[in-house]
Amino acid sequence: MNRTMEELRDFATTISHQLRNPLASAKTRLEVLLTEDLPDNVKIEMEKIKHNIDRMVEITSQLLLIARTQHTSAKNFEEEDLSSLILESIDQVSQKYNNKEFLIDSIKEIKVKCVGPLLIHAFANLLDNACKYSSSEKPITLHVEESGETVKVEVCNYGDPIPEQDRDKIFLKFFRSSNARTEGFGLGLAVVKAIADLHRAQVYYECEDGVNKFVMILPK
Ligand SMILES: Nc1ncnc2c1ncn2[C@@H]1O[C@H](COP(=O)(O)OP(=O)(O)OP(=O)(O)O)[C@@H](O)[C@H]1O
Ligand SMILES: [Mg+2]
């Protein structure tokens, strides 16, 4: 990697680190002030400021997660059961979208060498997107398929396809496509990509008959 890229990465990490404490302190101060007897219009404005602080905290923690992933190595890998990691990620996401149904076609033990909590995070981000961009009542489906030295995980949802011209940009930081109509930062897939790269996994998007499909192919 060239020096400029290294410097940019370090810069983003440093900024994120440096922002964390002042943001946390600003939020605490606001929360204390919000307990005071203040006019409603002031409280409404303060709630908006708090919401924006929460957004900044979320952005900095996603950027730090990407940086941490890029500084992790295969030395930190442990053998884990992939199905358990996937089930854990479904558990996390279903708490947020509690009326969404998830269907998984295979739940057998598959050992992979990985950083378990990071893989859970990557699957959770894909599932979060599948719920967020799902345009029907149909369930989110997951397929897991082992073949030789790899295992393929697919996360599928019905919804508007990502326009062709945007498909090579969706894994970049802060990119959101025109099919996104809800809130977001455009960081979820950048996190997925960083985690996939750490595991030497391939990750890509394809669209078939109104089904949005994200595929991750992991070496065992
Ligand atoms: N399952 C999906 N179905 C349709 N479009 C998707 C799907 N997943 C991602 N996208 C598109 O790719 C873009 C990038 O996704 P990404 O997860 O990085 O960001 P986000 O969901 O917009 O925000 P964040 O994840 O940071 O809250 C989305 O804005 C959306 O346009
Ligand atoms: Mg997302």
- Give kind and range of the element (H or E) at residue 192: helix 188-198
**Token pair for 114:** 């990985």
pLDDT at 20 > cutoff 70? yes
Is ligand 1 within 6 A of the CB of residue 124?
Answer: no
pLDDT, residue 106, reads 77
Decide if 219 contacts 131 (C-beta within 8 A).
no
At 17, the pLDDT band (50, 70, 90 cuts) reads confident
Q: Which of 55, 50, 52 is nearest to 35 (CA)?
A: 50
Give CA separation, 220 vs 84, 86, 151, 199, in Å. Answer: 15, 15, 7, 9
Give dist(CA 182, CA 19) in Å, integer. 26
Residue with CA at minimum distance from ligand 1 atom 19: 186
Tokens of 71: 């500084």
Residue-level pLDDT at 5: 66
Q: 40: CA distance to ligand 2 center in Å?
A: 33
Q: For the residues 66-88, what does the mean pLDDT come to?
A: 94
E strand or H helix that includes residue 132: helix 116-132
Q: Which atom of ligand 1 is least distant from the CA of 185?
A: 26
Per-residue confidence (pLDDT) for residue 54, from 0 to 100: 94
Domain ranges of the chain: 3-70, 75-219
CATH of domain 3-70: 1.20.58
* Across 18-44, average pLDDT: 93
Q: Across residues 142-152, what is the average pLDDT?
A: 94
* CATH superfamily placement of domain 75-219: Histidine kinase-like ATPase, C-terminal domain (3.30.565.10)
